[in-house]
Structure 1
Amino acid sequence: MQFKQPEILYFLLFLLVPILVHLFQLQKLKKTPFSNVAFLQKISLKNRKSSKLKKWLILTARLLVFSGLIFAFSQPYFSDEIHSKKQHTFIYLDNSLSTSAKGKKGELLAVAIQEIIENSFENVSYSLLTNTDFYENLSAEELKKTLLLTKTSGKESDLNAVLLQINLHFLSKIKTLNNYVLISDFQINNKNTEIDFTNVTPPISLIKLQPEQNYNLSIDSLYIEPKDNTDFDIYAVIKNQGAAKENISIAVFNSENPIAKQTFSIAQNETKTLHFPIQNNPNFKGNIQLENDDVFHFDNRLFFSLHPQQKINVLSIGKTATFTTRIFNKEAYNFSSTSVTNINYAIAENQNLIILNELQEIPNSLTDFLSGFTKNGGTIAIIPNAFLNLNSYNQLLSKLKAGFIQPLARDSLQITAINYNHPFFTGVFEKSIQNFQYPYASFNYWVKTSKQNKLLSLENEQSFLSSFNLNNSNFYWFSSPLDPAYSNFTYSPLVVPVFYNIAKFSLNKPISYYTIGAQNNIEIPTRISKDQVLSIEGVEQSFIPLQQSYTNKVNLQIGDQLSQAGIYQVKNEGNSIQSIAFNYSNTESSLRFLDLNNLSKENSKLNTANSIKELLYENHKKNEVTWLWKWFLALAIVSLFFEILILKLFKP
C-alpha cells in the first residue's frame, strides 16, 4: 500500500492522548458510603465490570474513527508504480510507404491507427512520433485527432533517429512514468541496415506490423540513353521478389498518352531490364506503369522527365588551337574563341566553360572576372604558356584558393597513370588500360596544394591534369602547354574524352528523376532578378524551395518538402521553366525485415508484443491506481455509529 500524502500519517501519534486518558480514568476508583453494602455487593461488582467493558469499546470505536479519517486524508492506494508521477506513453508510428501493405485485418497503418485510438486512456498523456512529425503532450482526444490525419509518407523510417529521440525524451521526463512503444514493420532500408540498440536507456516495447503477402514485383529504377535531340531509349529495371510471373503488362506514357506497351515474363527473384525506344519526343513528361497487384502498389509507377539536349557554351581565350574546334562541334556546343585583348565580358559571363589557352600573362581585369565567374558556378580550364608570367598566374590561383604554381621543370616525362576511380572518367573506359602509347610533356608547371585531385599523372607521380572543387564550380589545371613543341597530348586518344568531360561537367544537366526524401541539388539553367524566386508546383502540392541564384543558373535544394511522387513544374512568376520528376525510394519495396526475436535477445530492455490493444491495456493496467481512502472513510463512519450504539445500549 502506498500513500499520496504520507505526511498526514504523523497525526496517528495524537491517538496516544485518548489512550492515556482512558487508562488513567480506569485506575481511579470512586467510593460511595452506604449503610449496608452486603446486600449490594453482587450488583456493584457486576456494574463495575460492565462499565469497564463499555469504556474499552468506546475507546476502540473512537480510535477507529480518528484512524480511519487520518488514513482517508493520506489517500492510500495500491499500484505497481509511484502515483506522484504522471503517466505518459511515447508512441513511434512508422508511416512509411511499406506500411500501406495489407495485413490480416486490412491496411497495416490504418489498422494500427484504429487500435491506438480505441485503446487510449483519458488519464494518460501521449507523445506521437512519425516519420514526418512529432507531437508532444497530447491528451487522448488530441491523439485521436492527430492519428486520423496521419497518412503514409515517402520518407523512410530511421530507427536510429527514433532511438535517439526516445533517449532525449526519457532524460527530459524524469518525473513521469514513461512507456515507450515502437510500432513498425521494421523494414531494412538505407537507414535501417545497422541499428544501435546498445545505448537504449528506457525499456521499449516493439510491435511488428506484418504484411500478409511475402512477394512483390516493382519498377526498381530507370535510365535513359539519348540518341539525338528527339530520339532516346528508355531502360526500365524490373525487380521480382517471389515466384516467377508471366504475361505482365507494362506501358510508357507521355503525360496521360500511351506511347509504348509490352508484356514480359520474369523468373523467380530475378531483376530484369526492359527496353523502350522512343522517337520524336523532345519534351517528355513520362511515367511507366506496371499492371500488378502485389504487396505494394506505390512501386508500380515511376515518373521521369526529359528535355532537349542543351548546348554547352565554351569560350577559349588566348592561342587559337585546332583541337578545340574539332572537339567542340556546332551540334553540341556553342564554341567561340577570342584574344585576351578582345574579351567581351558581357558574353563571357554567359559561358559554362572558359579555357585559358597558353596565355603568357593573365591581366588583373581577367583575374577579377574569373574569380567572380567561378563564384557564379562557371568552370575554367587553364593551359599554361611555356614562358608564363608566374606572378600573374599565382595571383589568379590565390583568388581561387587553389595553391600556387611552382617554377618551370624541363623534364620530359610520360603520362602513365589515369585515375579510373574518379567520377571524371566514369563510362570513358570499359576497363583499365595497361599498355598504350604514352603521351609526354617536356615543360611542366606543377601546382603545390593539398586540394587537387589528380586525374592524369606523370611517371614521377606528379599531376599532369588536376581538378579543383571550388565552392560552386570546378577548376582544371594542365601542368604543361599543349603546343606540339612541348607535348604530344593533343595527338593522344585521351584528348577527346578529357575536354569532352571538362565541358560536360561544366553543365549539370537535369537527370530523369529525383528521389523523395533525399537531399536533391537541382540546377535550373535560367536567369532571375534579385527580387524573383522559383517555386515548385504539382497537382496537390506547391512550395518555394531553398535556392541560390547565379548569373545564368539557379540551384534548388529540395529535401523533405515533397511527399507525393509525380511530375512537378519549376515556375518563375507563374511561368513554367522546366519539369522535374520525383519518385519514392526503391528501398521501400524491399521485403526484408528485422528479426525482433534476435533484437530482444541482444538487449534485455527490448520486449516484443503481438497486439497494440493488449500492450496499451497492460501498460495502463500496470499503472492503474486502486484508491483505498473510501474504505477508510467508511470505517470511520461505521465506527462512529458503533460508538453511538454503545452509548445508547450500555447505560450506567
Structure 2
Amino acid sequence: MQFLYPSFLWALAALAIPIIIHLFYFRRFKKVAFSNVKFLKEVKEETSMRSRLRNLLVLAARCLALAALVFAFAQPFIPSAREVLTGRKAVSLYVDNSFSMGAESDSAPLLQIAKDRARDIVNAYGVEDRFQVVDNDFRGRNQRLVGQEEALELIEDIKVAPASRRLSVVNGRQRSALRTENIENKITYLVSDFQRNVVDLSAEKLETSVQVNLVPLTSVRERNVGIDSVWFEAPVPQLNQNNLLLVRIRNYGNEDLDNVRLSQNYLGQSKPEGTLSIPARSYVTDSVYLNISEPGIGRAELRITDFPVQFDDVYHLTFRTADKVKVLNIDDDGQPQRNLRAALGGLSVFAANYVGSRNIDYGSLAENDLIVLTDQVSVGSGLAEQLRLYVENGGNILIFPPANADVNSYNTFLTRVGSDRLDAFVEQNREVSGLNRREFIFRDVFRNRSSALRLPATTGNFPIGRVGSRQQESLLTYRDGSTALAKYTLGEGNVYLSSAPLDNEINNLALNAEIFIPMLYKMGISSGRRRQAAYTIGQDEVIQTSRRGAGADIVFKLRGKNGEFIPEQRVVDNRVLLSLNNQVPEAGTYDLVLGDEIVDAFAFNYDRKESDLSYLDANELAELASIPNVALLDADNQASLIGDIRERNEGTPLWRYFIWGALAFFLVEVLLLRFWRA
C-alpha cells in the first residue's frame, strides 16, 4: 500500500491526545456510608476491573477512528501495473469538434458523446488539479490551465466547427499549454473519431514525459457524398453564353450510390441538373451549363442532398464578367489604323481609347483589359518597363510591329516580356492555313467547324525566331508551319505577338472581321491566371483583388451574412493582397466592400478533408497504443472509463474504506459509552 499524500501521516501524532486524556483523567469518588461493609472490598475490585476494560476499549476506538481519518486524508492506494502519479496533475483535454463529429453514433451525435466523456474525465480528477480544454479552433483562451469548474464550462461551449487539425499538431499545442505551470505530472487526452486523414502520431512526434490517452469514438456507418470541386472549363466565363461548369462529386463510402440529385442556384433561381450514380470510393465529373445573364460580379452555388454529414453538400462560387472590354491603342502618331478603329468602334462590347506614344498616362495603364501596340517604330526602355509591369499584373498586350520597325529595339522589349525574338523583315506572299481552335482565343468561336474559313494572308512578315526558354503557343500558323500569331504568358497576363504589321497593304487580318473581332474580344477578357471560382476556409489565407484607391482612411471590408470584418491589407503594384487570418467563420459568398461600394465578391467553402469518414480500426488503434506512454481507453462504458482513469492515475484507492472504518470506530465508542455501564 502506498499514499498519494504521505505528508498527512504526520497527523498520526494527534493520537497522543486521547492517550494523554486517558492517562491523566482522575475520577472523583463520593463517600457513601454503609451499615455493613463486609462485602465492600469484593464489589470495589470487581467494578474497577470492568471500568478499566471499558475505558481501554473506548481509548482504542478513538485512536483507531482518528488513525483511520489520517489514513483517509493521506489517500492510500494499491499500486497498479503502471506508475501512479502522486500529487497535483496538469491535464490537457482535446475534444475533436470537426465536421466528421456531426456523424451519428448509436445514441447521439459523436460530438455530444465526446463532450460527455470529456466531462467524465475532468470529474475523475480532483479539485486541486489543473485543466486545459482545447478543440480545433485553437482559441487563445484554450491555451491556459484552468480549474475544474471552468474546464466543465469550456467543454459545454464546444460546437462543431470547420477547422480540422492533425493530431500531432494538437498534441504539440497541449504540451505547450502544460508547460505554462510548474506541475510535474502532465497528462493529455485525445477524444476523437480518429479519422485516418488526421492521425499522424508516432513515437518521434510524442514526448515520453507526457502521458497520452486515446479515447476513440465510433459512428454508426461510414457513408458520405460531397461536392469535391467546381471549375469553369474556359479560363474566363463569358456574358450571355452557356459557360460550361465541371463538377466533381465524390462518394466517400463503401457502397455504390444511385439517384444522387444535383441542382444549380443562380440569381435566386434553383434549377435541377439531373441525378448521378457514383461508385463506392470513387467520383464522377458532371457538366453543368451556366448562362450568365448579368455583367459584373456573379454568384452561384451547386448543391446535392445527403445525410447526416451535410457541410460538403453545397459548393459556392463567384465569377466576374465584363459588359465592355477596355482597349487602349498605342500608335506612334496617335492616329489609329482605320480598320482597327472600325473594329473597336463598331461594337458596343468595346470601350476604346487611342493615344500617341508621347501622351501615355502610365498610371492608368492597369485600367485597360487590352493594349494594342501599332506602328511603333521602336519601343523605349520606359515604355517597355511599364508594359512589362502591366502584363505581369494581369494585363494583355497585342503587338503589331511596323515594316520599318527597329528590330533590335523590339527584341530588347520582347526579351523583357518573355517573348521570342524577331528576325529581319522579309517581303514574301504567305497565307495562314492553321487556326488553333483548342486555345481559349478561338475556342467555341465558330459554330460550324467543318465550314471553310477565310484566313488572312500577308505580303511580308518578321519571322519569329524561337528562344529555347520561351513557352510559345501558336494561334495562327502559315502553311510551312511557322507562326503568324503567337501567345506568351508572363506573370498573370499574356503577350500576343504578330509576325506581320497591321497595315492593310501587308496584312489583311483587320479586314477579316469573323476572325479579327472575336480575337480582340477574347484577348481582352483573357488572363494568364484564372480567377479562382472559390477559396477553401483554413487553406487559402491570402486572396487578391485589383487596387481601387484603398488608403489609410478607406479600407477594404469583407461582408457576409453574419457580419463583416477588415482583413489585413497589403498593396503590391496594382493589386491588393488580403490576409484572412482565420476570420472567415462559415462557408458562403462574401462581398468585398470599399466604402459603400461592392467592388468584388469571393466564395468560401469548407475544407473537404473531413468528408472522408474513414477511421482507424481496432488493430490500428492498438498499434498506436503500443507507443511508449500511450494508452487506449474505452469510451463506450462511462463507469469503465472513469474507473480506468482513476486506476491509471491513482491505483486502487482505499481512502473510502478508511472513512467507513473511522465511522465504524466512532459508532463503537458511542455504543460503549451508551450501553456499558461501569
Q: TM-score, normalised by structure 1?
A: 0.63
Q: Does structure 2 retain, via aligned residues, the 8 Å contact 1:445–1:479?
A: no
Per the alignment, residue 585 of structure 1 pairs with 607
Match of residue 170, structure 2, among 138, 162, 171: 162
Q: Deviations over 1:117-149 (max 9, x none)?
A: 232033332333422215233222232222222
**Compared with structure 1, are the counterparts of its residues 309 and 611 closer, same or farther at alpha carbon in structure 2 (3 Å cutoff)?**
same
Q: 1:334 to 1:205 in 2, by over 3 A?
A: farther
1:352 and 2:378 equivalent?
A: no
Q: 1:423, 1:166 → 2: CA distance?
A: 51
The alpha carbon displacement at 1:260 in A equals: 2.5
Which residues in structure 2 correspond to 1:396-435 (within 5 Å)? none
Counterpart CA distance in 1 for 2:189 and 2:611 is: 25
Amino acid at match of 2:202: F
Q: Quote the offset at 1:299 in angstroms.
A: 2.9
**Residue 264 (structure 1) aligned with residue 266 (structure 2):** no
Q: Partners in 2 of 1:106 and 1:447 — Cα distance? A: 66
1:362 maps to 379
Instruction: Name the residue aligned to 2:34.
Output: none
- 2:98 aligned with 1:96: yes
Q: 1:547 to 1:313 in 2, by over 3 A?
A: farther
SS class of match (1:146): helix
What CA distance in whole angstroms lies between the structure 1 residues aligned with 2:618 and 2:440?
40
- 2:541 is the counterpart of 1:517: no
Matched, 1:184 2:197: no
Q: Is the contact between residue 91 and residue 180 of structure 1 (CA under 8 Å) also seen in structure 2?
A: yes
Q: CA deviation at 1:113?
A: 1.4
User: Does the alignment pair 1:609 with 2:614?
Assistant: no
Gap change, CA 1:5 and 1:345, over 3 Å in 2: closer
Q: 357, 360, 363: which one pairs with 1:340?
A: 357
Structure 1 residues 55-84: Cα deviation after superposition (integer angstroms, max 9, x where no partner): xxxxxxxxxxxxx9xx99xx8976665867
Displacement, 1:252?
4.0
Q: Which residue of 1 aligns with 2:451?
A: none
Find the aligned partners of 1:353 and 1:533 in 2 and give their Cα distance.
28
Equivalent AA in structure 2 for residue 124 of structure 1: D
Give the counterpart of 1:300 among 310, 313, 317.
313
8 Å CA contact 1:353–1:506 kept in 2: the answer is no
3-state secondary structure, aligned to 1:218: strand
Contact 2:264 2:271 in 1 (8 A): yes
Q: CA deviation at 1:287?
A: 3.8
Deviation at 1:161, TM superposition (A): 3.1
| Residues 229 and 288 of structure 1, relative CA distance in 2, 3 Å threshold | same
Question: Quick one: structure 1 residues 112 and 188, their matched pair in 2 at CA, closer, same or farther if it must change by over 3 Å?
Answer: same
Residue 131 of structure 1 pairs with residue 155 of structure 2: no
Residue type matched to 2:326 in 1?
A: N
- State the AA in 2 paired with 1:610: D
AA at the equivalent of 2:129? V
| 1:179 Cα deviation after fit | 2.4
The partner residue of 2:151 within 143, 146, 159 is: 143
Say if 2:3 and 2:75, in contact at 8 Å, map to a contact too. Answer: yes
Paired AA for residue 565 in structure 1: A
Equivalent-residue separation in structure 2 for 1:329 and 1:617 (angstroms): 85
Deviations 1:288-330, CA, capped at 9 Å, x for gaps: 44444x2312233333445544544333434777799879994
Q: How many angstroms apart in 1 are the aligned matches of 2:331 and 2:224?
A: 60
Q: Counterparts of 1:299 and 1:593 in 2: how far apart (Å)? A: 18
Q: CA deviation at 1:108?
A: 0.9
Greater alpha carbon shift after TM alignment, 272-281 vs 564-573: 272-281
CA spacing shift, 1:441–1:137, aligned 2, 3 Å: same
CA distance in 1, matches of 2:473, 2:203: 43
How many residues align? The count is: 544
Provide the C-alpha distance between the structure 2 equivalents of 1:125 and 1:8, rounded to a whole number of angstroms: 22
In structure 2, what is the Cα distance between the partners aligned to 1:105 and 1:590?
A: 22
The one-letter amino acid of 2:539's match is A
1:356 CA drift (Å): 4.0
Aligned to 1:202: 207
Pick one of 112, 115, 129 that aligns with 1:113: 115
In 1, distance between residues paired with 2:518 and 2:524? 10
CA deviations on 1:267-291 (whole Å, 9 max, x unpaired) are 6536373746658566754444444
Alignment of 1:481-492 (within 5 A): none
| Structure-1 separation of matches of 2:589 and 2:312 | 16
Match of 2:648 among 622, 631, 642: 622
Change (3 A) 1:567 1:6: closer
TM-score (norm 2): 0.61
Question: Which deviates more from structure 2 when the two are superposed, residues 608-617 or residues 385-394?
Answer: 385-394
Listed as ranges, the matches of 1:484-563 within 5 Å are: 503-506=524-527, 511-519=532-540, 522-524=543-545, 527-531=548-552, 532-549=554-571, 554-558=576-580, 560-563=582-585
Cα contact 1:443–1:486 (8 A) shared by 2:
no
Change over 3 Å in CA distance of 1:397–1:582 after alignment to 2: same
Q: Is the 8 A contact 2:423 2:462 kept in 1?
A: no
Superimposed CA distance per residue, residues 500-531 of structure 1 (whole angstroms, 9 cap, x where no aligned partner): 77644548675543322221654545723423
1:580 to 1:186, Cα distance in 2 relative to 1, 3 A: same
Q: Cα gap change, 1:501/1:619 in structure 2, threshold over 3 Å: closer, same or farther?
A: farther
Matched, 1:211 2:219: yes
For the aligned residues, what is the CA RMSD?
5.7
Classify the secondary structure of the residue corresponding to 2:623: helix
- My pick for the range that moved more, 615-624 or 207-216, is 615-624
- Per-residue deviation at 1:106? 0.9
The CA deviation at 1:615 is 5.2
Give the letter for the 1:314 counterpart. V
Q: What's the offset of the Cα at 1:377?
A: 5.4
| 1:74-89 matched pairs, under 5 angstroms | 81=83, 86-89=88-91
Query: Cα gap change, 1:621/1:406 in structure 2, threshold over 3 Å: closer, same or farther?
Result: same
1:560-575 matches, cutoff 5 A:
560-575=582-597
Deviation at residue 263 of structure 1 after TM alignment: 6.2
Distance across 2 between alignment mates of 1:387 and 1:160: 67
Find the aligned partners of 1:133 and 1:2 in 2 and give their Cα distance: 39
Give, in whole Å, the separation in 2 of the partners of 1:489 and 1:85.
89
SS at match of 2:136: coil
**Inter-CA distance 510–364: structure 2 relative to 1 (3 Å threshold):** closer
SS in 2 for 1:110: helix
Q: Aligned with 2:214: secondary structure?
A: strand
Q: What percentage of aligned pairs have identical amino acids?
A: 21
Report the Cα distance in structure 2 between the residues aligned to 1:424 and 1:577, rounded to whole angstroms: 27
CA gap of 1:397–1:386, structure 2 versus 1, over 3 A, is: same
- Compute the displacement of 1:112 (Å): 0.4
Determine the C-alpha separation between the residues in 2 that align with 1:609 and 1:115: 11
Instruction: Find the aligned partners of 2:488 and 2:569 in 1 and give their Cα distance.
Output: 26
Contact kept? 2:377, 2:404, Cα under 8 Å: yes
- 2:161 aligns with 153
Equivalent residues of 2:4, 2:650 under 8 A apart = no
| Letter of the 1:150 counterpart | I
Cα pair distance change 1:166/1:200, threshold 3 Å: farther
* Contact kept in structure 2, 1:318 and 1:338, CA below 8 Å: yes
* Displacement of 1:94: 2.3
Counterpart amino acid of 2:328? L
Structure 2: where are the runs of 5+ without partners?
10-66, 446-454, 662-678
